[in-house]
Copies of this chain bind each other. A is one copy, B any other.
Amino acid sequence: MSKLLFILVLTIGIVSGKYKYETKWFTVPLDHFSFQRNETFQIRYLVNSDYWDNGTGPIFFYTGNEGQIEVFAQNTGFMWEIAPEFKAKIVFAEHRYYGQSMPFGNKSLENENIGYLTAAQALADYADLIDYLQGDKVEPRYPVIAFGGSYGGMLAAYIRIKYPHLVNGAIAASAPIHMYPGMVPCEVYDRIVTSSFRIANEECVTNIRNSWSTLRTFAKSQNNSDWLYKNWNLCHPLKNSSDVQELVDYLQSMYESLAMVNYPFESNFLLPLPAQPVRVVCQYLNETLKDQKLIEGIGKVLKIYANYTGKTSCVNYKNGDSYENLDASGWDYQACTEMVMPMCTTGTDDMFEPNPWNFTQFAEDCHKKYNVQPRPQGARVEYGGARLQAASNIVFSNGLLDPWAGGGILNSISNTITAVLIIDAAHHLDLMPSSPYDPASVKMARNIHKQNIEKWIRQFREERSKQ
- Which A residues contact B (CB, under 8 angstroms)? 29, 31-38, 114-118, 120-121, 124, 127-128, 131, 136, 138-140, 162-166, 182-183, 337, 370-373, 375, 377-378, 380-382, 384-393, 463
Contact = CB atoms under 8 A, between A and B. Distances in A.
Contact of A166 (B35, B166, B373, B381): B381
Nearest to A124: B382
Nearest to A40: B373
B35 A139 contact: no
Contact of A115 (B37, B375, B392): B37
5 contacts: A29-B375, A31-B36, A37-B115, A38-B372, A138-B386
Nearest to A416: B390
A374 to B, nearest CB: 9
Nearest to A459: B389
A344 to B, nearest CB: 18
A390 B392 contact: yes
Contacts of A116: 34, 36
A114 B36 CA distance: 7
A165 B390 contact: yes
Nearest first, the 5 closest Cβ-Cβ pairs linking A and B are A36-B115, A164-B390, A165-B384, A165-B387, A33-B33
Instruction: Say how many copies of this protein the assembly contains.
Output: 2
Given A164-B390, A391-B164, A382 B36 contact: no
A34 B31 contact: yes
Given A138-B183, A140-B387, A33 B120 contact: yes
Main secondary structure on A side of the interface with B? loop
A117 B38 CA distance: 14
A127 to B, nearest CB: 6
Contacts of A118: 33-35
A82 B35 CA distance: 39
Q: Which of A32, A33, A392: most chain B Cβ within 10 A?
A: A33
Nearest to A389: B463
Given A32-B120, A34-B121, A138-B183, 5 more contacts: A35-B115, A35-B372, A36-B37, A131-B377, A138-B385
Given A33-B120, A33-B121, A120-B33, A388 B165 contact: yes
A182 B138 contact: yes
A127 B382 contact: yes
Q: Which of A37, A337, A387, A390: most chain B Cβ within 10 A?
A: A390
A220 to B, nearest CB: 43
Nearest to A336: B35
A178 to B, nearest CB: 10
A464 B277 CA distance: 43
A384 B34 CA distance: 19
Contacts of A120: 32-33
A159 to B, nearest CB: 12
Contacts of A38: 371-373
A375 B30 CA distance: 13
A337 B385 contact: no
A131 B124 CA distance: 23
Contacts of A378: 32
A337 B390 contact: no
Given A138-B183, A138-B386, A337 B32 contact: no
B377 A136 contact: yes
Contacts of A391: 164
A393 B389 CA distance: 12
A104 to B, nearest CB: 11
Nearest to A367: B38
